[in-house]
């Protein structure tokens, strides 16, 4: 299977998946409120999706090791499409919860399986390039999705859900006709068929740190996303429109650097890139404390986005190179830790912000320093590539 032909297809799949996912973000709070949801219930609607992904991502990864990547990707995209249509047809809050539970459980198949697919078709030398391209597609889709959703929200509250469901269904057809199975190209990818270590053994050893590192990186990012709107309004008087542009700039900066992961990895290696990403993220957190206006906010978040953006592709690449648990199982556990960070991050960020508005970013600096120290210590041992 030729890498140059398959990676654009995978890029388009993840881009379309994330556009569909992002479309509903601007409208969901208003839609839930119209159905009678309280602020607490809205928070639970957001959290239950990530919680289901936390539970089900490892399962889908293991299934993809056994039965193939393509059918599992199809299940994940079908789950997204179904959940969007169910939300569009919801008339009560419990129906929204049911749709989010179904969507979270099934769409948990997407990210770990696509990453496992990349691992199947890439050599170790090109692994970071492939993971970076998937990261860039995810980031760009998440930028354009909310923008599209915001436009259609002004027309009708139901419209974004129907559009997201239709786009996901079209993506399903795209996968069905254009994506070929990859599992048979990789003996390492099929390792999970016969090896079934329990969870604690699958994530143990010298690379356990990488799973927890992904958790802390997502934890700090989710905390920033949950609190920066309030922080920027208090510090610089920025409104929702300007904040949308700022997060778009951050996403573009992150996607740009992820698209060049192949060159950077060949020159420096994953461990050094992870270390550099942590340092840049810490600098970004520190600079955010000095936000004064739109320009400084955009620059500081772009710096943070660059640092944060290079870490996950490098972690994914390093884990799939070294793990012996099967690509799907490995990326499934990684996605699970990522989801756990998205569950805890907003809550923790909110609590810290309520104590002092600078605290989420100060804690981000502290976490970054701790993570850098751990990675540096482990790099002297068996993590080094």
b vs e for 192-221, b when ≥16 Cβ sit within 10 Å of the residue's Cβ? beeeeeeeeebbeeebebbbebbbbbbbbb
Using CA atoms, how far apart are residues 137 and 251, in angstroms rounded to an integer?
Answer: 10
* pLDDT at residue 98 tops 60: yes
pLDDT tens digits for range 116-144: 999 998 888 888 889 999 999 998 988 88
pLDDT digits (tens, 9 = 90+) for 323-369: 777 889 899 999 999 999 989 988 899 899 999 999 999 999 998 99
Q: d(Cα 313, Cα 318) in Å, to the nearest integer?
A: 9
Instruction: Provide CB contacts within 8 A for 198, sequence distance 6+.
Output: none
Count of beta carbons in the 10 Å neighbourhood of residue 169: 18
Residues of the chain with CATH 1.20.1250.20: 3-197, 201-379
Are 338 and 115 in contact, with CB atoms under 8 Å apart? no
In tens, the pLDDT along 52-64 reads 999 999 999 999 9
Match 């710096």 to its residue by tokens.
Answer: 303
- Would the pLDDT of 186 be above 70? no
Q: How far apart are CA 227 and CA 230, in angstroms?
A: 6
Alpha helices in 259-326, H assignment, sequence order: 261-268, 270-288, 294-322
Does 382 score more than 70 pLDDT?
A: no
The radius of gyration computed from the CA coordinates of the chain, to the nearest angstrom, equals 20
Q: Which CATH superfamily is domain 3-197 in?
A: MFS general substrate transporter like domains (1.20.1250.20)
C-alpha to C-alpha distance for 257 and 263, rounded to whole angstroms: 10
**CA–CA separation, 145 and 137 (whole Å):** 12
Please, which pLDDT band fits residue 76 given cuts at 50, 70 and 90?
very high
Lowest pLDDT segment from 61-75, 101-115, 155-169: 155-169
User: What percentage of the chain exceeds 70 in pLDDT?
Assistant: 91
Do 23 and 163 touch, CB atoms closer than 8 A? yes
Q: Tell me: the pLDDT tens digits for 235-244?
A: 999 887 788 8
Q: Strand, helix or coil at 46?
A: helix
Residues 151-176 pLDDT 10s: 777 777 888 899 999 999 999 999 99
CATH number at 201-379: 1.20.1250.20
Q: What integer best gives the mean pLDDT of the chain?
A: 87
49: tokens are: 């999706």
The residue ranking higher by pLDDT, 21 or 181, is 181
Tell me what pLDDT residue 99 has: 95
């Amino acid at each position: 299977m030729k890498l140059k032909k398959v990676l654009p297809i995978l890029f388009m799949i993840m881009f379309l998946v994330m556009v569909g996912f992002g479309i509903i973000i601007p409208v969901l709070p208003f839609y839930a409120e119209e159905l009678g949801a309280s602020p607490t219930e809205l928070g639970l609607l957001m959290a239950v999706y990530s919680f289901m992904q936390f539970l089900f991502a490892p399962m889908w990864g293991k299934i993809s090791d056994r039965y193939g990547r393509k059918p599992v990707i199809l299940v994940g995209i079908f789950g997204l499409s179904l959940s969007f249509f169910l939300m569009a047809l919801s008339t009560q809050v419990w129906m929204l919860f049911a749709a989010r539970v179904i969507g979270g459980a099934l769409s948990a198949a997407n990210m770990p399986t696509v990453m496992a697919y990349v691992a199947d078709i890439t050599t170790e030398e090109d692994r970071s390039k492939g993971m970076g391209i998937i990261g860039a597609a995810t980031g760009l889709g998440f930028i354009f999705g909310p923008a599209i959703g915001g436009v259609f929200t002004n027309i009708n509250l139901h419209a974004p859900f129907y559009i997201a469901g239709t786009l996901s269904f079209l993506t399903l057809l795209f996968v069905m006709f254009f994506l070929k199975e990859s599992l048979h190209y990789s003996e390492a990818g099929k390792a999970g068929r016969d090896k079934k270590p329990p969870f604690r053994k699958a994530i143990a050893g010298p690379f356990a740190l990488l799973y927890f590192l992904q958790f802390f990186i997502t934890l700090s990012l989710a905390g920033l996303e949950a609190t920066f709107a309030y922080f920027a309004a208090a510090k610089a008087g920025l409104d929702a429109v300007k904040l949308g542009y700022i997060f778009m700039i951050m996403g573009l900066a992150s996607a740009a650097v992820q698209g060049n992961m192949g060159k950077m990895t060949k020159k420096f290696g994953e461990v050094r890139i992870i270390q550099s990403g942590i340092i840049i993220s810490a600098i970004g957190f520190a600079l955010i404390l000095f936000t004064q206006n739109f320009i400084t906010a955009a620059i500081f978040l772009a710096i943070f986005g660059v640092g944060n953006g290079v870490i996950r592709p490098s972690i994914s690449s390093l884990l799939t190179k070294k793990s012996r648990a099967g690509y799907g199982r490995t990326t499934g556990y990684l996605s699970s830790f990522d989801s756990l960070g998205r569950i805890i991050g907003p809550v923790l960020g909110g609590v810290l912000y309520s104590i002092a508005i600078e605290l989420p970013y100060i804690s981000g600096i502290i976490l970054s320093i701790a993570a850098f120290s751990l990675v540096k210590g482990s790099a002297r041992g068996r993590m080094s590539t």
